[in-house]
């Protein structure tokens, strides 16, 4: 059941006290005030741009490196692919959702289809959030302890956690009927799924965002302090700094993508959410592929010009070995 004040969570103020059974009893957001297309059309455009970047990242990655050596790629390169996959699957499900609403001006039916859209949306959003959090932790550990997290053979620990944990939680959520339309798209049911919505979008996303900001700031402060204090650093320390800086880009992209959603999640439980903030949510949250595509371009450029941290130590060793071998060959030829 949702009363009048609760119905404003999605920016819709109703003047009725009719009992609401589920999200389908909510009016489609934007139809009443003429902002329907200004919400969904920009969202669809952002999703298309994002998906184009996702395809470009994945295609470039596997074109220039063989898939059989994937787990020998640098962590940054693998992270870029994992995040692109999350973005791509998120884009597909959310595009279908938005397109259905634009074409019919109704919330997707049957309810199981909308719940399925909501499951996919929440699954891949949460998986990406957890992945970026692990990246932030990895940066922190690398900078402060000069160690790297062990993700297990073929990253099974990492993948099992970021995809398995959300899937388990959302399966329970779906079983309790908490997934469905919220008046704007399919996610957590706007009437029956308020508890799940509060847990996922307010508590979880806000906690992840704040934690990532703290780890990001602390790690960069350490890098700045060490760089300033040491004029001639050890090559391993330089490599650690470069690795941390590169992986921190994923954290920064995450903050740009999800700051609006985190703010929205907190704001909606305090007072009515301004429509401008809702527009920010539908824009920034759908630009993940673009933001992570920019990060990927930076990684590729650094690797191409020999500044990629993940290969710097190996490059130094190989370079030294090659020079030694070349010197011996020259001496032997002279003899």
Rg (CA), the chain: 24
Residue 240 has pLDDT above 90, yes or no: no
With 90 as the cut, is the pLDDT of residue 243 above it?
A: no
> Tell me: the pLDDT tens digits for 193-210?
989 988 888 888 889 988
Mean pLDDT of 43-66: 94
- The pTM of the full predicted model, rounded to 2 decimals, is 0.77
| pLDDT level of residue 327 (50, 70, 90 thresholds) | very low
pLDDT tens digits for range 79-110: 999 999 999 999 999 999 999 999 999 999 89
The residue among 50, 56, 53, 51 whose CA lies nearest residue 287 is 50
Instruction: Please tell me the total number of residues recorded for the chain in this structure.
Output: 335
Top mean pLDDT of 149-153, 237-241, 271-275 is at: 149-153
Q: What pLDDT band is residue 317 in, cutting at 50, 70 and 90?
A: very low
Any residues with CB less than 8 A from the CB of 247 and at least 6 apart, and which? 75, 76, 79, 135, 138, 139, 142
What's the chain's average pLDDT?
Answer: 81
Packing angle of the helix pair 111-145, 205-229 (nearest 10 deg): 20
Q: What is the 3-state secondary structure (H, E, C) of 233-295?
A: CCHHHHHHHHHHHHHHHHHHHHHHHHHHHHHHHHHCCCCCCCHHHHHHHHHHCCCHHHHHHHH
DSSP state of 201: I
Handedness of CA 216, 274, 279, 7 (dihedral sign): positive
pLDDT in the model for residue 137: 92
Per-residue pLDDT band for 2 (boundaries 50, 70, 90) equals: very low
């Amino acid at each position: 059941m949702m009363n009048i004040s609760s119905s404003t969570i999605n920016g819709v103020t109703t003047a009725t006290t009719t009992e609401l059974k589920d999200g389908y009893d909510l009016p489609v957001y934007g139809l009443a005030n003429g902002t329907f297309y200004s919400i969904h059309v920009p969202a669809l455009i952002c999703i298309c741009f994002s998906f184009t970047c996702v395809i470009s990242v994945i295609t470039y990655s596997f074109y220039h490196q063989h898939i059989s050596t994937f787990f020998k790629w640098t962590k940054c390169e693998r992270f870029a692919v994992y995040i692109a996959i999350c973005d791509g699957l998120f884009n597909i499900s959310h595009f279908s959702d938005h397109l259905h609403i634009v074409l019919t001006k109704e919330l997707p039916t049957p309810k199981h289809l909308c719940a399925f859209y909501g499951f996919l949306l929440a699954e891949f959003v949460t998986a990406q959030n957890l992945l970026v959090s692990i990246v932030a932790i990895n940066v922190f550990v690398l900078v402060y302890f000069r160690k790297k997290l062990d993700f297990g053979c073929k990253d099974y620990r990492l993948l099992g956690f970021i995809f398995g944990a959300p899937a388990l939680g959302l399966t329970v959520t779906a079983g309790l009927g908490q997934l469905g339309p919220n008046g704007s798209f399919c996610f957590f049911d706007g009437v029956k799924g308020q508890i799940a919505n509060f847990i996922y979008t307010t508590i979880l996303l806000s906690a992840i965002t704040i934690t990532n900001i703290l780890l990001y700031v602390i790690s960069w402060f350490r890098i700045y302090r060490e760089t300033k204090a040491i004029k001639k650093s050890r090559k391993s320390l330089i490599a650690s700094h470069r690795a941390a800086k590169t992986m921190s880009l994923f954290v920064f992209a995450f903050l740009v993508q999800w700051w609006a959603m985190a703010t929205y999640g907190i704001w909606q439980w305090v007072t009515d959410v301004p429509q401008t903030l809702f527009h920010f949510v539908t824009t920034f949250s759908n630009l993940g592929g673009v933001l992570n595509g920019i990060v990927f371009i930076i990684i590729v450029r650094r690797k191409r010009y020999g500044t990629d941290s993940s290969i710097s130590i190996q490059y130094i060793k190989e370079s030294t070995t090659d020079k030694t071998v070349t010197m011996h060959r020259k001496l032997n030829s002279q003899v």
